[in-house]
A = this chain, B = another copy of it.
């Protein structure tokens, strides 16, 4: 209930000026070792802690970064965030987390992040920005890096979506599938667009025709551009109800969606992979558990790279605008039917 002790209290009790106290805590070289020890002792006694906000204001440096994520429920974000946080902590940076649930609130969040100056840098995760904000972010002096999305002129790190989608699709093709559909997120999402391209490319490359009616889109109104279990479940339900002719295999744009597809398939009495082969995308923790064949994203590495890049930008104010693609890797499990004696998760 005591008012907190300030640098003045320390200075007075130590019999020095506040400048000296400041030098002591910031271990400046311009201080006598002896006085420093003395000041440090007083600090301990008084249990003094510098006021972080005052420091930030004076230093013009906050040692925190702001991260904005879509209102996270997709475990891909979670795993990303976990690693982002980890690397941040290792570098003594704090994290202010903004999560955006409704797209119409996005701009207000972006504006705040841009100009409130509470952070030294911003990390946009899975956030697509329009031209207007692209310009703003390019012009702003605060470093920005985008993860799982991209924008010209801004540091961006993504998975190689197209080639990964091709790999996934070709795996199905190599397994003998000729009738392949795709369940995708909403095309307002960058990854969704890219993965669709890759899917089509694979089909083309193998002289298979792309069936528009086998492209199962997920409702973006359910949030996250349809990249969630529920949206995929509903979409799949509708799809199965409406068609008699269906593909023998599906490339699903994310693991959480694959879960929804599996649920819908099960309810329709379809067996996976016998009746329907599946390959997902992400390799979230749960994928292993349900035997989902999927494209593994190096999530920890992506998080690490993004943060390291951001911190580098902050500390060296180097030029922005680099774009890096990470490679995904096919993890063959059971849902694609690749193994003869597959053991899927059954209770």
Chain A interface residues (CB < 8 Å from chain B): 1-2, 4, 47, 49-54, 56-57, 62, 64, 71-73, 75, 78-79, 82, 85-86, 89, 94-99, 101, 111-112, 114-118, 139, 141, 229, 259, 262-263, 266, 271-273, 285-286, 289-291, 334-335, 343-347
State the CA gap A141–B89 with chains docked (Å): 26
A272–B346 CA distance with the chains assembled, in angstroms: 8
Contact of A116 among B51, B101, B263 (CB under 8 A): B51
Residues on B with C-beta less than 8 A from A271 are 346-347
Given contacts A49-B114, A86-B101, A271-B346, 4 further A-B contacts (CB under 8 A): A72-B82, A82-B99, A85-B99, A266-B345
Q: Bound state CA distance, A73 and B284, in angstroms? A: 11
Pairs of residues from A and B, 6 with the lowest C-beta to C-beta distance, nearest first = A344-B347, A49-B115, A346-B346, A52-B116, A272-B347, A52-B118
For A2, the closest partner residue in chain B by CB is B141
A86 to B94, CA, bound (A): 20
Known contacts A53-B117, A344-B347; A94 and B96 CB within 8 A of each other: yes
A342 → chain B closest CB, angstroms: 8
Cα distance A96–B118 when bound, in Å? 11
Closest B residue, CB atoms, query A79: B73
**Complex partner residue of A347 from B99, B139, B290, CB under 8 angstroms:** B290
Cβ B57 vs Cβ A347 within 8 A = no
CB distance from A279 to the nearest CB of B (A): 13
Q: Which residues of the partner chain B approach A112 to less than 8 Å between Cβ atoms?
A: 49
A111 to B94, CA, bound (A): 14
Residues of chain B within 8 A of A347, CB atoms compared: 262, 266, 271-273, 290-291, 334-335, 344-346
Query: Which residue of B is nearest A101, CB measured?
Result: B86
A101 shortest CB reach to chain B, Å: 7
Bound form: Cα–Cα A106–B59 in Å? 27
